[in-house]
Structure 1
Amino acid sequence: MNRRNFIKSTSTVGLITTLGIPAGATIIGKSDEESAIDFADNFQLNELTISELQDLMKKGKLSSKSLTKMYLDRIEKVDKNGPKLNAVIEINPDALEIASKLDEERKAGKIRGLMHGIPILIKDNINTADKMQTTAGSLALLGNIASEDAFIVKKLREAGAVILGKTNLSEWANFRSSRPCSGWSSRGGQTKNPFILDRSPSGSSSGSGSAVSANLCAIAIGTETNGSVTAPSSSNGIVGLKPTVGLLGRSGIIPISKTQDTAGPMGRNVTDVATLLSVLTGVDLNDEVTKNSEGKTQKDYTQFLKKDALKGKRIGIEKSFLTGHEGVVALYKKAIEKFKELGAEVIEIELLKEMRIIGSASFTVLQCEFKDGVNAYLAKANAKVKNLTEVIAFNKANESTAMPYFKQETLESSDKALDLESVAYKEAVLKVTSSRKIITDLMTKNQLDAIAGTTYGIPSPIDLFNGDAGNGFYFCSPPAMAGFPHITLPMGKIYELPVGLSIMAGAYEEPKVLAFAYAYEQATKHRSAPKFIKSSNFSSGI
Structure 2
Amino acid sequence: MGFEIIEATFADIQAALTSGELTSKKLVLQYLNRIAEHDKNGLTLNSVLEINPDALFIADALDSERLRSGSRGPLHGIPILLKDNINTGDMMHTSAGSLALANSYASEDAFIAKKLRDAGAILLGKANMTEFANMMTEGMPSGYSSRGGQVLNPYNISTPTGGSSAGSGVAVAANFCAAAIGTETSGSILNPSNLSSIAGIKPTVGLISRTGILPLSNSQDTAGPMARTVTDAVLLLQGMLGHDERDAAMGGGIGKQSKDYASFLDKDGLKGARIGIPRDYYQEELTEEQLSIFNRAVEIMKEQGATIVDPANIPTARSIVYSTVILNEFKASINAYLARLGPHAPMRSLKEIIEFNNRHPMETLKYGQKTLIDTEYNTSGTLTEPRYIHDRATDLKLCKEDGIDATMREHQLDALLFPADFGSRITSRAGYPSIIVPAGYTQAGPPFGVTFSARAYEEPTLIKLAYSFEQHSKFRKAPSLKSFLD
* TM-score when normalising by structure 1: 0.86
User: 2:361 matched to 1:399?
Assistant: yes
Q: Residue 154 of structure 1 aligns to a residue in which SS?
A: helix
Give ranges in structure 1 of 5+ residues lacking alignment: 1-14, 20-43, 457-473, 538-542
Q: 1:448 aligns with which of 391, 410, 413?
A: 413
The one-letter code of the counterpart of 1:169 is: M
Please point out which of 436, 442, 449 is paired with 2:400: 436
**Which residue number in structure 2 is paired with residue 257 of structure 1?**
217
**C-alpha contact (below 8 Å) 2:48/2:167 kept by paired residues:** yes
CA distance in 2, matches of 1:373, 1:249: 15
Can you list the C-alpha shifts for 1:223-244, whole angstroms capped at 9, x where unaligned?
0000000000000111111000
Match of 2:337 among 373, 377, 393: 377
Q: How many Å separate the matches in 2 of 1:322 and 1:289? A: 34
Aligned match of 1:422 = 385
Structural mapping, 1:181-196, within 5 Å: 181-196=141-156
Match of 1:163 in 2: 123
Quote how far apart the aligned CAs of 1:74 are. Answer: 1.2
**1:505 aligned to 2:435?**
no
Aligned with residue 275 of structure 1, among 227, 235, 250: 235
Which deviations, in whole Å up to 9, do the C-alpha atoms of 1:100-146 show, x marking residues without a partner?
11111111124211101100000000000000000000011121010
User: Contact 1:197/1:533 (CA < 8 Å) preserved in 2?
Assistant: no
Could you tell me which runs of 5 or more consecutive residues in structure 2 were left unpaired when the two chains were aligned: none
1:335 & 1:194 partners in 2: Cα distance?
23
2:42 touches 2:483 (CA, 8 Å); kept in 1?
no
Q: CA deviation at 1:351?
A: 4.5
For 1:485 and 1:200, the matched residues in 2 are separated by: 24
What is aligned with 2:369?
A: 408
Give the 3-state SS of the residue equivalent to 1:140 in structure 2: coil
Instruction: State the match for 2:74 in structure 1.
Output: 114
**Counterpart of 1:482 in structure 2: which amino acid?**
A
Conserved in 2, the CA contact under 8 Å of 1:455 and 1:476?
A: no
1:87 matched to 2:47? The reply is: yes
What is the letter of the counterpart of residue 389 of structure 2? K
Q: Does the 8 Å contact 1:205/1:232 carry over to 2?
A: yes
Q: Deviations over 1:309-349 (max 9, x none)?
A: 11111100121345531100100111111111111111124
AA partner of residue 35 (structure 2)? I
What residue in structure 1 maps to residue 86 of structure 2?
Answer: 126
Task: Pick closer, same or farther for the CA change 1:208–1:72 going to 2, 3 Å.
Answer: same
CA–CA separation in structure 2 for the residues paired with 1:417 and 1:356: 27
In 1, the alpha carbon distance for the partners of 2:388 and 2:157 equals: 41
Is 2:185 the partner of 1:236?
no
Map Cα deviations across residues 288-322 of structure 1 (whole Å, 9 max, x no partner).
Answer: 11122211112321110111111111100121345
Q: Is the 8 A contact 1:120 1:164 kept in 2?
A: yes
The equivalent residue for 2:185 is 225
Matched, 1:98 2:58: yes
1:531 matches 2:476: no
1:343-390 deviation per Cα after TM superposition (whole angstroms, max 9, x unaligned): 1111124656623323222xx110111000001111222532211111
Decide whether aligned partners of structure 1 residues 83 and 352 sit closer, same or farther in structure 2, where only a CA change above 3 A counts.
farther
Match of 1:485 in 2: 433
Structure-to-structure mapping, 1:140-159, within 5 angstroms? 140-159=100-119
Gap change, CA 1:515 and 1:142, over 3 Å in 2 = same
Amino acid at match of 1:429: R
Kept in 2, the 8 Å contact 1:315–1:449? The answer is yes
Distance 2:159 2:420 in 1: 17
**1:431 alignment partner AA:** T
For 1:372 and 1:340, the matched residues in 2 are separated by 46
Percent identity of the aligned residues? 44
SS at match of 2:245: coil
Partner of 1:469: none
**Contact persistence 1:133–1:142 (CA under 8 A):** yes
Give yes or no for the alignment of 1:334 onto 2:296. Answer: yes
Q: Take 1:160 and 1:421, find their aligned partners in 2: how far apart are those partners?
A: 43
Is the Cα–Cα contact under 8 Å of residues 38 and 481 in structure 2 kept in the other structure? no
Shift of 1:90: 0.3
* Stretch of structure 1 that moved more, 63-72 or 205-214: 63-72
Q: Tell me the equivalent position of 2:306.
A: 344
Aligned-partner Cα distance in 2 for 1:449–1:347:
11
Distance 2:92 2:208 in 1: 22
Q: Does 1:386 align with 2:348?
A: yes
Distance 1:286 1:392 in 2: 29
Measure the CA separation in 1 of the matches of 2:420 and 2:188: 12
Q: Is the 8 A contact 1:451 1:504 kept in 2?
A: yes
Q: Give aligned pairs, total.
A: 476
Give runs of ≥4 in structure 1 deviating > 6 Å. Answer: none
1:516 is matched with which residue? 465
Q: TM-score, normalised by structure 2?
A: 0.95
What is the alpha-carbon distance in structure 2 between the residues aligned to residue 482 and residue 377 of structure 1? Answer: 24
Q: Which amino acid aligns with 1:424?
A: R
Q: Which amino acid aligns with 1:427?
A: H
Q: Could you tell me how far 1:282 is from its partner in structure 2?
A: 1.6
In structure 1, C-alpha distance between the alignment counterparts of 2:267 and 2:34, rounded to whole Å = 33
- Amino acid across the alignment from 1:86: N
**Hey, what's the Cα distance between the residues in 1 that align with 2:321 and 2:384?**
21
Where does 1:295-374 land on structure 2 (aligned, <5 Å)? 295-320=255-280, 321-323=282-284, 324-349=286-311, 351=313, 354-361=316-323, 364-374=324-334
Report the Cα offset of residue 181 of structure 1.
0.5
| Contact persistence 2:111–2:244 (CA under 8 A) | yes
Give the counterpart letter for 1:508 in structure 2: Y
Q: Deviations over 1:75-102 (max 9, x none)?
A: 1111111221110000000000011111
